[in-house]
Amino acid sequence: MRDGEVFRQAIRRGGKGVQPDLVVHVGGPVEPTDVTSVGFVVSKKVGPAHDRNRVKRRLRHLMRERIDAVPTGSRVVIRALPGSAHRRAADLGPQLDQALHTASSRIRP
């Protein structure tokens, strides 16, 4: 996802799952034939550019393994919180699992 309006719609209309280092929003599919899309929000509060990029790479890798855990056609927004810069992928994985589960179960039509 690259369009700011798509991010806003997923955040406003989607279910939310909160963990200590992540917030995940899962918006339901707009069209039944849509492909699942994932976007990342990593603000400057996370740290300098190299830390933000490292967090995005870790989350992208983790999400690639979990893409089937969300309904097909969903729009997923993963927002990294400042603590995520100091976590290993092995620590972020369980948080992502829990947040995805919570957010997926709260999807509003």
Q: Write the pLDDT tens digit of every residue in 38-93.
A: 999 999 999 999 999 999 999 999 999 999 888 888 899 999 999 999 999 999 99
Distances (CA, A) of 4 to 21, 23, 40, 86: 22, 17, 11, 27
Name the pLDDT band for 11 (thresholds 50, 70, 90). Answer: confident
* Model pTM score: 0.90
Residue percentage of the chain with pLDDT more than 90: 66
Name the pLDDT band for 108 (thresholds 50, 70, 90). Answer: low
